[in-house]
Structures are given as C-alpha cells and as structure tokens.
Chain A
Amino acid sequence: MNEINITVIDRQGDQHDLKVPTDMGLNLMETLKSYELPVEGICGGMAMCASCHCYILSDHDLPEQGHDEIAMLDETDEVESNSRLACQIQITNKLEGLKLELAPELVGEDEFSDW
C-alpha cells in the first residue's frame, strides 16, 4: 500500500502525525474525518459548507482552486491567503509531508450555550 505522511495542527494547537493511503481515492476532508479530527464535512465534500476549512502551512504544489471553492471561501469568515477547503484536495503522493492547521469552528462551542 502506498502511504504518505501528513501533519495536522488541531484547534488546541496539538500536532497529529497521520499516515494516509494514497490508493483509496480519499480527499483530505475524508482523511481528517477518518482520523476523528473535528472536521464535520457537513456537505459531504461539495464545497458547499466550509466545515473543512484549513490553513496550509507547508509549501506544496496543490491542485488549483475551482470556482466553487473560491466562491465558498468568499462567504467564509477568518479566511487567509493559505486557506483551502480540505474536501477539494485529493490525496496523492505529491502531498507527502503536507502540514496544515484546522481553521476555527464555524460556530463556537459556547455561542448557543443558553439553548
């Protein structure tokens, strides 16, 4: 099985070193979810929710953003120049050594605590 290494910084700043198969047709959002990292993937990977928003910290040659991803990020808060939607990035050997950080939650834990 072909595998690559991906490093993820979660919202508490903790580092997770993932070993990810490249021959299973996964995208990055599905990979993060399968490791039970707190990425919801509400829209199932259709670039329609931004719950998989992350910041790319390493210098990798990633697939270009499509119109849907650009338009979704334009409606998302806390977007930076290295923002990407993880569901739009397919896992390939080119991603060996990728490092990313999860963007803040779309809705804060305590925002609706009186509900």
Chain B
Amino acid sequence: MIQTDILIIGAGPVGLFTVFEAGLLKLRCHLIDALPIPGGQCAEIYPKKPIYDIPAYPEILAGDLINNLLKQIEPFKPGFTLGEPAVQLEKLDNGHFEVTTKQGTVHRAPVVAIAGGLGVFVPRRPKIEDLQRFEEKGIAYFIKDPEKYKGEKVVISGGGDSALDWAIFMADNFASDVTLVHRSKNFRAHPDSVQKAFDLANTGKIKLHLDSEVYKINGNGKLDTVTLKRKEGDDVQIATKHWLRLLCLTPILRPIGHWGNRKKCHCGQQCIGL
C-alpha cells in the first residue's frame, strides 16, 4: 500500500507541475498514470512536435517540456505508479481516500488531485479473433518493462515514432530479433528514425514487412504465432511470443467520468461529490 500527502491521477503536464506547487508547501505527491511514461498527451501524442505558447520558451518540443518538468520536480521526489490505470476511488471512514489501479496497486492519501486531461489512454483494438485473450499473454500496446524483450524474438506493428524508436532500440541494444510490420510504405515517425530503421533493415538487424498487417494470432494460452496479410503475395506466419502493437492510444473519460455523484458546485462546474 502506498501512502502519501497528495495522490495525483494523471502524470501529464498539469499533474507534474502539481508536484512542484505541493512541494513548495512541503507536501509529498505520488502520481498514477495508465501510460508507462510521464507526460500525458505531450508524451503520447506529440513528443517530437514544437509548442510555441509556453511563457519564456519561444519554441520547445513537447517531449523536452516534459523532461524539463521532470527535472523541476526532482527535488520533491514524487512517487510514480506508471502503466496502471486508476479504476477505483473510495472514501475511507477517516475521511481519506483510497485509489486502486486495475493491477491492484492500492494508494491512500488525504487528498486526491485529478489531473486526467482528456482521460486515460487506452489501446485501439483491431478486430482480431481472440485478441483480448492474449493481452498480457504476449500482446502489448505499450512497453512497460523493456528488459522483458532482451534477446527475444519480437514483432512490432506501427509506423509512428513509438513503433520505430522501440524497434531501433531493441535491434541496437538488446540483440533482439526484431520484425517491424507496417500497413503501408508511409511512416508517421520522424524522418531520421525512418532512415535508421531502413539502415538496420539493410544490414539484416530488423526484418521489415511493409504493406502488411497482422490479422491472425495463435497460441495455446500464450501467444506463439502471428500471421501477416500482405497487399501482394501470400500470408506470412511468424513464430513469436511477443507482438507489440505500438499504434496510437486514445484517451477516454472512463473511469473518472463515472466516479461519484456529479453535482453543480459553487465553482459553476460539474464537480464530483463523494
């Protein structure tokens, strides 16, 4: 059980700066986020895009803004529960709150700050038979514990920065056997990453399947093969224990939107009454 002064749900820019403000009052904070990294939308949707409306920064990349915020709050030593959505909020007899994640991590604090932005980031699930049965048993939508893939055979799907950065990282640093699968020849990722992925493909460190997508998965309890459908040519079957579908995640207002009784508050907003 994690006990703190202020429990912050959402480690986006707002949640992160809350740590700083609370720290000035000598209050300790613990942040919970469903994403495996802090930064909210800035980290998940547009880390490599510039932002122009931050005071004193004529231009800053969203990812750098988050790195700066993390540096700024470092002295206050916040705790983090990452890669776990907070699904339950309860008021205890002593007036404190208990927040539990889907994975069962329990947190308690006298104050909970909800900095959930557009909501909790969740995966978009393709229509593939048995998909949910293999979630956490070979299929993942983001990378929480990279060490798990060291020296392993992994299939990564996606054409954005997340897919390419991880494919490059694993091929370069983990000696993993990496197959990158993408539906087309157009990439959303930064051109430098695309070039690097092609260079690694040319030296045989990444196996590249373009104009292809995973459409079938198999396994006995755990994933053991994925099958690719290709725009041209026959299906390809790949034996693997890990399919990482690193495509865009989407924010949804569940479960925050369902917590408590919504009441018209003196601030004029629909606030949560517990």
Contacts and interface: CB of A to CB of B under 8 A. Distances in A.
Interface of A: 42-43, 46, 48-51, 67-68, 70-72, 74-75, 77-78, 106-107, 111-112, 115
Contacts of B126: 77
B248 interface: yes
Contacts of A70: 184, 186
Contacts of B123: 107
Contacts of B187: 71
A75 B254 contact: no
25 contacts: A42-B118, A43-B46, A46-B49, A49-B45, A51-B250, A68-B188, A71-B187, A71-B188, A74-B159, A74-B182, A74-B186, A74-B188, A75-B158, A75-B188, A75-B247, A78-B127, A106-B124, A106-B250, A107-B125, A107-B250, A107-B252, A111-B122, A112-B252, A112-B255, A115-B254
A77 B250 CA distance: 13
A115 B87 contact: yes
Contacts of A71: 159, 184, 186-188
A99 B46 CA distance: 31
A111 B249 CA distance: 14
A72 B254 contact: no
B46 A42 contact: no
Would you call the interface of chain A mostly helix, strand, loop, or mixed? Answer: loop
B184 A74 contact: yes
Contact of B85 (A48, A77, A106, A115): A115
Given A42-B251, A115-B255, A77 B124 contact: yes
A9 B262 CA distance: 32
A99 to B, nearest CB: 26
B45 A48 contact: yes
Contacts of B150: none
B12 interface: no
Interface of B: 45-46, 49, 85, 87, 102, 118, 120, 122-127, 158-160, 182-184, 186-188, 247-248, 250-252, 254-255
Contacts of A42: 45, 118, 250-251
Given A48-B45, A75-B188, A107 B160 contact: no
Most buried by B among A42, A43, A75, A78: A75
Given A42-B118, A107-B125, 5 more contacts: A43-B45, A67-B186, A75-B159, A77-B127, A107-B250
A112 B250 contact: no
A107 B186 contact: no
B122 A72 contact: no
A111 B159 contact: no
A111 B248 contact: no
A91 to B, nearest CB: 25
Contacts of B85: 115
A104 to B, nearest CB: 10
A23 B251 CA distance: 32
A78 B184 CA distance: 15
A43 B250 CA distance: 10
B235 to A, nearest CB: 19
A71 B254 CA distance: 28
